[in-house]
A = this chain, B = another copy of it.
Amino acid sequence: MIDLLITYDVSTETPAGRKRLRRVAKVCVAYGQRVQGSVFEVSVSEVQLVALREKLLQEMDPTEDSVRIYRLRQPREKFVEAFGRDGYRDMSAPLIL
């Protein structure tokens, strides 16, 4: 499986933008989890990646939005640090990076 990070930049100031974010989130969450409002960690096969990319391109507005797909290092949990609302890490604890 391939671990991906998908970041979706969309204006949530308009109802249309919020709707696109909801639809993009739905597509991504089918393959993984929402880690921030518009950031998703997903795991896919090569075949699923093709389908996922196609769905994202269908949902986004290419003139308004930006989608970036990063292929992450594995195991993913070894290469990410999370701070704040979704997982504050005590800085006195050993670092994972």
Contacts and interface: CB of A to CB of B under 8 A. Distances in A.
A7 B5 CA distance: 10
Given A57-B91, A91-B57, A5 B70 contact: yes
Q: Is the interface of A mostly helix, strand, loop or mixed?
A: mixed
Contacts of A38: 9
Each complex incorporates copies of this chain amounting to 2
B83 A56 contact: yes
- State which size class the interface on A falls in: 35 or more
A86 B72 contact: no
Contact of A68 (B57, B61, B81): B81
Contacts of A88: 62
Contacts of A68: 35-36, 39, 80-83, 86
